[in-house]
Structure 1
């Protein structure tokens, strides 16, 4: 596997055979030469230094983001539906009205990330959604709840795709999933914290004339605002302006990323053709189907896990607490999966394993198995979907070259992919309790879509890589050079003949 994917980074070229400059003429001469020579241990220390500056604050912000969007499921058990008279499908509609603006705003948000700078854009939108979250605790009517949920969707839209895109600007592609796993691990921890916090905050019921669900929104919203102010002083922009690195360290990080997937570096200038290239790339659209198959089950189980567990016959406090263990285990497993996925330079096998786990979990829950077995099945639902999701994100990010094409492509991937949330937020209906056959059946259908789409994507990637390998082999045998200027290779991006897809 590794021997077929000939990246242009320095280390891989030494392992994987002839220098690409033997095949491609007029390529940059510094692609093989790092600006500073680092030992393996020195390089590890450098990346740990980068990790410690970037990942903790991003992960904390995303933990709060996921907590703030999903805590409505805990609030539901604490009296939200009763006080606001959320009869029929009103609760599901309130969930849906968050995701419509969220999906629509994700792509534009990624385009402005570099313009406004991550150190201002990401903390700025965090403050705004923290305010919206706090105000949600003060709503008195159903229309007010819907209105604030819309505002929450607009303000949160820029964080997730922006942070993933931001990570791709710092890390080489085969160091990415582990970092995305740590970042996204905050989402699974949010599921655990949500249950614990809801259990504790529930004891504030009646304080200040507010019910327990109001205090959940208010306190978690205020915590988001506090973290946003801290983020203004801790989030850094890009490697070339990172003052926490020495000049030599900045040069090495820039070089490592620049020649990660091309012999001439990436195209960094904005042009509308990059937007068009992303919108018309086959892999973006096929990868969206894979995204659907993982995200649909993930969002469904996240939004409704407290309700599903409550339907097993447990009371509200116990139901809140029982949501915690699946998320804790999922966090540990997704980080482990990220480590081995980067080490093996593979993405699809780990996504496939996650789909199998989700299949088992939802199959148990759609059956008439005892409630204890169904609770055990929820572990598979949570672990499978959460462990696979970072691989889905990293996979497309690895295979799009050119900073703006990757930014737009990933935003489309996430933005359109999250449209599945409109389905996931409406399939677990109150009238279907306690078995929720409709909801579980739709989740199983989405998982089945993944079992079809994922092998198709892998086969296409392998076929294209094999064709490019064959062109190189023939050129080497004939002693010929393939004529491309450095700018032509940059313009081609992942369509360039020296680019190899990760699968």
Structure 2
């Protein structure tokens, strides 16, 4: 009867704390109180009322947001701008000046994703070992240098080499920052913050079109074409931001200099109360790597992310080209990319807020994917320029919110400092590897309708994003029912408290976010 009531509460009240099933408490002698979860960690607010504690926690959360989120958004804006500005450069004569074919252009795009995806699974381990304040500024300066050099290339081989090294240098930012945020916030708090962070990608697309249209007018300055100045100036800006990041990117909670001693304890205690140990030191062991590899959730989330990331790069790399084929000039096509991206940024933040509030991340993915599917169906089936342009809006609404929501969903359901880092690396790396496919499906011979490209993106969204989200949602619901029924309690028989904590999300009291 007790279990049935708890299960009903989990369905009707997503914020209800079901972190410890009743039989689990009895079998291992644990209580569900936050004080027991935080045993051994001093409480700086001992003796304060619940109202006083809540006020302190709210103030702390606002302080963290101001310290962490704005600068991270700027970093990702620079990152996405630098990887996708080649689409704007193409409209300004890149292929003609470098004597490249459309096939060589697609190959250059593909090389970025090969190195980007290949290095991502390793980056979170480096982030943990080198510290965020060193690792993130370091890779930013490196890719800024590569971006600047891209503006000086004179042939396909030079552009291809630059794209390879750009992917290698950028590989650590998105999985690193996603993992980093999961080490600061509770599971029900991270969605909107990751959405705000990722909305910088949509803003980069919007801002990038305006910026490219303005910079391209520098054609002839210093003997360089306009597209070269797009790369040079944006690369130099990235270097400056990277150098400043040493002072604005903070380390993990146990090392962050801006935290007072009491606030450091508060951050660690609030994460422990959420069944997270990510704020604390943990030595790397290969067991964490293999735990991620053997976990079905790693590959389920990789499939889902494949569905939204394959669509994301097709959309962001070729949107200027798609719009230009509707009959607009290069400059106007760049400018017309702004509204879909701006609208997508707003929807991304809204979905992040909604997923946090409902804790129904799977259904949020399903809803957004259906909108995106409708958008690409319009692009595929219509010949009316106005309908196609409207389809780009719906396509953006279906892609951008799902990217952020899927990564948060994976982070919510993976516990352990290094296991979460490895899992996010695998998920994001596999998703980005599909950028190789995205780079080759919008072929010159298919214009102006690009049926192959739109069809492939549509298939990605139906099979992987929609289908994967439904499968994962129902699998997690089924597993939660087993845990609440006590069917997983045997995993902890004879184990000490510390050994139980090392089980991470395999603990019987760890309830998945569905």
Checking the alignment, whether the CA contact within 8 Å between 2:84 and 2:316 is kept in structure 1 is yes
Q: How does 1:8-407 map to 2 (within 5 A)?
A: 12-13=16-17, 21-25=25-29, 30-31=36-37, 35-36=44-45, 38-261=52-275, 268-407=282-421
In the TM superposition, what whole-angstrom CA distance separates every residue of 1:39-73 from its partner, at most 9, and x where no partner exists?
A: 33332221111111111111111100000000000
Of residues 475, 496, 499, the one that matches 1:485 is 496
Query: How many Å separate the matches in 1 of 2:143 and 2:8?
Result: 43
Query: How many Å separate the matches in 2 of 1:387 and 1:489?
Result: 35
Query: How many Å separate the matches in 2 of 1:263 and 1:65?
Result: 29
Q: How does 1:412-451 map to 2 (within 5 A)?
A: 412-449=426-463, 450-451=465-466
- The answer as to 2:508 corresponding to 1:502 is no
Helix, strand or coil at the partner of 2:208: helix
Checking the alignment, whether the CA contact within 8 Å between 1:5 and 1:465 is kept in structure 2 is no
Checking the alignment, whether the CA contact within 8 Å between 2:253 and 2:264 is kept in structure 1 is yes
Query: How many Å separate the matches in 1 of 2:276 and 2:253?
Result: 19
Larger mean Cα displacement after TM superposition, 31-40 or 66-75: 31-40
Helix, strand or coil at the partner of 2:360: coil
- The answer as to 2:482 corresponding to 1:467 is yes
Q: Which runs of 5+ in 2 are unaligned?
A: 1-6
1:242 Cα shift? 2.2
Checking the alignment, whether the CA contact within 8 Å between 1:31 and 1:263 is kept in structure 2 is no
CA 1:233–1:216 in 2, change beyond 3 Å: closer, same or farther? same
Query: How many Å separate the matches in 2 of 1:473 and 1:80?
Result: 59
Query: How many Å separate the matches in 2 of 1:2 and 1:197?
Result: 52
In the TM superposition, what whole-angstrom CA distance separates every residue of 1:83-108 from its partner, at most 9, and x where no partner exists?
A: 01111411111100111111111111
What is the TM-score of this pair, normalised by structure 1?
0.93
Of residues 461, 470, 476, the one that matches 1:455 is 470
Query: How many Å separate the matches in 1 of 2:397 and 2:277?
Result: 38
In the TM superposition, what whole-angstrom CA distance separates every residue of 1:325-349 from its partner, at most 9, and x where no partner exists?
A: 1111111111111112111122111
1:400 Cα shift? 0.6
Query: How many Å separate the matches in 1 of 2:277 and 2:78?
Result: 40
1:216 Cα shift? 0.3
Checking the alignment, whether the CA contact within 8 Å between 2:24 and 2:489 is kept in structure 1 is no
Larger mean Cα displacement after TM superposition, 32-41 or 210-219: 32-41
Query: How many Å separate the matches in 2 of 1:368 and 1:264?
Result: 49
Q: Which runs of 5+ in 1 are unaligned?
A: 476-480
Query: How many Å separate the matches in 1 of 2:498 and 2:273?
Result: 14
Checking the alignment, whether the CA contact within 8 Å between 1:178 and 1:335 is kept in structure 2 is yes
Query: How many Å separate the matches in 2 of 1:131 and 1:316?
Result: 27
What is the TM-score of this pair, normalised by structure 2?
0.91
Query: How many Å separate the matches in 2 of 1:337 and 1:445?
Result: 23
Checking the alignment, whether the CA contact within 8 Å between 2:113 and 2:433 is kept in structure 1 is yes
What RMSD in Å do the two structures reach over aligned CA positions?
2.5
Checking the alignment, whether the CA contact within 8 Å between 2:76 and 2:200 is kept in structure 1 is yes
1:5 Cα shift? 8.1
1:172 Cα shift? 1.1
The aligned length equals 495
1:500 Cα shift? 0.7
Query: How many Å separate the matches in 1 of 2:340 and 2:439?
Result: 20
Checking the alignment, whether the CA contact within 8 Å between 2:312 and 2:399 is kept in structure 1 is yes
